[in-house]
Structure 1
Amino acid sequence: MTDTQAPKKPATPRTDIAPSDGETGRVLQVERRDFTQLVPEGRKRVQSMRGFDECYTDIVDYIIRCTHRIWDERDVGLIYSHYTHNCVAYTTMGTMYDRETHIRDTIQRLVEFPDRRGMAQQVIWNGDDVNGFYTSHMTHGLGRHTEPGSWGKPTGRTYCTRTVADCMILENKIYKEWIVRDNMGPLIQVGLDPHVFAQGIAQKKFDLGETVLDLTENRRLLGQYPPESEADLSIAHNAGEEQLLEWLHHIYNKRMFGKIHEIYAPNCQWHGPLMRELYGVASVLHQTMRLVALLPDCSFVPQHIASVDSEEGGTKYAVRWVMDGHHLGYGSLGAPTGHHLFVMGVTHFHVKDGKIVDEWVVYDELSMLVQLKLAAIQAAA
């Protein structure tokens, strides 16, 4: 399985289930389950899981249970049996290239935020145990800043943030991961100045030799031609995924923002960075244009899409994407600087009766701010 594409026809059912006894023979879903139902004891294996530990009954059970064991039960050493030695993790603040870095990073976070809890909200997945699974796992992280560490002197304040971890998994081991965490939200919640914090990170990156590569062409436009009229659908696995990719292409690359009025339900909800919770089509329209306005020459490139039929009705989709452009517009990052910006994000959609009723989008404004600070330091040097 490649980075962007899972098998066209998964070997096992992707639809989900019912009662809490876990004996229906279908893969778990998260939304209407208490934690004890998501990691049940004595549940029979309901999915082919070649090479996985016996305690895991399906791929959703695997990603939720092993995350809980590592982060909440503090069995950090399980990373050795659940990650390959050369696992690459792409995050909004940098890339980790080996398993030991994962372990060090996990220990540091657990010490700085000792009462943190990560609560699963959704797992959208595809694949099988032959070609590999792909999971998109969204969590809400709650905790308090009670120990000194990368955030400086503890403030004692509470925070809540949203994270999506996309994982590629084969035979019990994660071998590639994309972690998109809203770092700006909790930073503001505990009372730290994002500009000061971002400046410190940028200076450290510069001192270590990291630079910003400013590419002037992102291929959204080919010369003076308009954007491609149709979306690239090569990563889709079914007609529903193809339609969603078409919608996103029209909105983000063709700038046809009026499409939002056609495809979102009047009573839709939008859940975004900084834990914003908004309602209605007008809110979705404004927040979508708000992001594009920051880098108005950007291209929007979906890198992976997965979907599961939802027991709540309709279908849930997970899209991992990147945006590439320049800081040419006003917004939350301040006056335009012209510096290059790269945004990595994940969006979960719930589509019912042909309309989007829920959107959860995660990207990191702190990462964008660090990029601008680093570019300024580089230019000054």
Structure 2
Amino acid sequence: MNDVDHLTEEKSEKGVKTYESIVHYGDSNEVTRVGYSDYNEFTKNDKRSQSMEGFDKDYRDIVDYILKITHRIWEEKGIGVIYDTYHNNVSMHTGSVTVQGINAVISGTLQTLHAFPDRNLIGENVIWSGNDKEGFLSSHRIASTATNLGDSSFGLATDKRVFFRTVVDCFVHSNRIVEEWLVRDNLSIVKQLGYDPVEVAKKLASESKTKSFQLGAGANETMDGQFSPKVYASDQEGFEIGDFTLQLYNSIYQRRLFNEVKHYYSETAVVHAICEQDLTGHQQIQSMLISLFASFPTSKVMVERVTCNDGQLENEWDVAVRWTLQGLHDGIGYFGQPSGAPVTIQGISHLKVRNEEVVEEWMTFDGLDVLRQIYLESEEG
């Protein structure tokens, strides 16, 4: 159930309002926060702060689990850790493509490390919810630096240094990742390597054996008959972070009320968009959103998951939002001239909300996968 107008309210044991299946909360006091701690110091504390029943004793809480396995797999090159921490039938969603099974995870990791063997991963934040009985959901934002020392699906090795962000959502149960949503800024990587993104996208499209997994994207799904997008109606009194987030995405993303940016974002808010774009202030944020939606003017946006943790400061929240845009590339905008191709964009955004306004946002999606879908249509035609 994704539509924000079909929400079921329930009360948690602590009496905090939650929105079943969409908005979830994690208590930051239960975990070791990601902050200024050096990884060498971070890993010395072995006292458990969560029960973590069913997990290896090495992991003291869900944040520790995510940071440790990421470090061991990627930086220590412990590829075999995947066999112990991923479900054999794991589902991994990367952009518009879904792959199944642990062997696909092993293969993808090896291919990436072959191309970028010195990749350094900095965990900027882990936003989480859940427990060891029903399972955890984590949203891990990573900043990476790496040198392209090996050939990749993008092309031959360039020896160039790159910086890029990745956000990974995981559903974890009993020490294993059961489902993963991985969003990497591949468009930024390709540009930094000096390749032509269009040519790389055409190459990837021609190499696609089957059409990418589409979540029903097309003309029939963009509008419900002739009805406009529904308005999220809230009976919440006062500020509540989950309610605030759902209202923001309904107003700006689903109903295209870009004037509402001024209502939800602080005057000096910064949005870290793809391709290393840092947008400051209402006007720049509005311009980026208008350009993006101009490429997909009749698209539909679905909010799939909202995860909320209280922040370091008073009246501050860290929020992860996983969303999907689907529709037709039938307008002139961020992705150039319209092609009419059906497109699915999987995005994950991290918001820092302070004093009832967004003060900083990290908006991540795979722009190269969007181009691949656009040129996939021409390859199949």
TM-score (norm 1): 0.89
In the other structure, the counterpart of 2:282 is 281
Answering whether residue 131 of structure 2 is matched by residue 142 of structure 1, we say no
Shift of the 61–171 alpha-carbon distance from structure 1 to 2, 3 Å rule, reads same
The amino acid across from 1:66 in the alignment is I
In 2, are the aligned partners of 1:293 and 1:330 still within 8 Å (CA)?
yes
Q: Distance in 2 between matches of 1:42 and 1:286?
A: 45
Matched residue SS, 1:47? coil
Structure 1 residue 33: deviation in Å? 2.6
What aligned pairs does 1:20-169 form with structure 2 within 5 A after superposition?
Answer: 26-38=30-42, 40-92=43-95, 94-169=97-172
What aligned pairs does 1:193-212 form with structure 2 within 5 A after superposition?
Answer: 193-205=196-208, 208-210=209-211
* Deviation by residue 1:32-77 (Cα, 9 ceiling, x = unmatched): 3322343x22431011100111111111011001110111111110
Query: Unaligned regions of 5+ residues in structure 2, if any?
Result: 15-24
Structure 1 residue 105: deviation in Å? 1.2
The amino acid across from 2:33 in the alignment is Q
The amino acid across from 1:57 in the alignment is R
In 1, are the aligned partners of 2:265 and 2:359 still within 8 Å (CA)?
yes
What aligned pairs does 1:173-212 form with structure 2 within 5 A after superposition?
Answer: 173-205=176-208, 208-210=209-211
Q: Distance in 1 between matches of 2:11 and 2:164?
A: 33
In 2, are the aligned partners of 1:162 and 1:181 still within 8 Å (CA)?
yes
In the other structure, the counterpart of 1:218 is 221
Shift of the 147–158 alpha-carbon distance from structure 1 to 2, 3 Å rule, reads same
Structure 1 residue 197: deviation in Å? 0.8
The amino acid across from 1:155 in the alignment is T
Q: Distance in 2 between matches of 1:342 and 1:378?
A: 17
The amino acid across from 1:32 in the alignment is Y
Matched residue SS, 2:360? strand
Structure 1 residue 112: deviation in Å? 1.3
Query: Unaligned regions of 5+ residues in structure 1, if any?
Result: 18-25
Matched residue SS, 2:346? strand
Shift of the 202–42 alpha-carbon distance from structure 1 to 2, 3 Å rule, reads same
Structure 1 residue 326: deviation in Å? 1.1
Structure 1 residue 152: deviation in Å? 2.4
What aligned pairs does 1:191-340 form with structure 2 within 5 A after superposition?
Answer: 191-205=194-208, 208-210=209-211, 215-219=218-222, 221-230=223-232, 239-313=240-314, 314-340=316-342
Matched residue SS, 1:103? helix
Structure 1 residue 231: deviation in Å? 6.1
Identity %: 31
Q: Distance in 2 between matches of 1:309 and 1:267?
A: 21
Q: Distance in 2 between matches of 1:291 and 1:10?
A: 41
* Deviation by residue 1:248-284 (Cα, 9 ceiling, x = unmatched): 1011121111110111111111101001112112121
The amino acid across from 1:282 in the alignment is Q
Answering whether residue 371 of structure 2 is matched by residue 369 of structure 1, we say yes
Structure 1 residue 209: deviation in Å? 3.6
Matched residue SS, 1:230? coil
Matched residue SS, 1:175? strand
Shift of the 126–146 alpha-carbon distance from structure 1 to 2, 3 Å rule, reads same
Matched residue SS, 2:337? coil
Shift of the 59–247 alpha-carbon distance from structure 1 to 2, 3 Å rule, reads same
Shift of the 55–191 alpha-carbon distance from structure 1 to 2, 3 Å rule, reads same
TM-score (norm 2): 0.89
The amino acid across from 2:36 in the alignment is R
In the other structure, the counterpart of 1:346 is 348
* Deviation by residue 1:349-376 (Cα, 9 ceiling, x = unmatched): 1111111101110011111100010111
Residue-pair matches, total:
360
In 1, are the aligned partners of 2:140 and 2:169 still within 8 Å (CA)?
yes
The amino acid across from 1:36 in the alignment is N
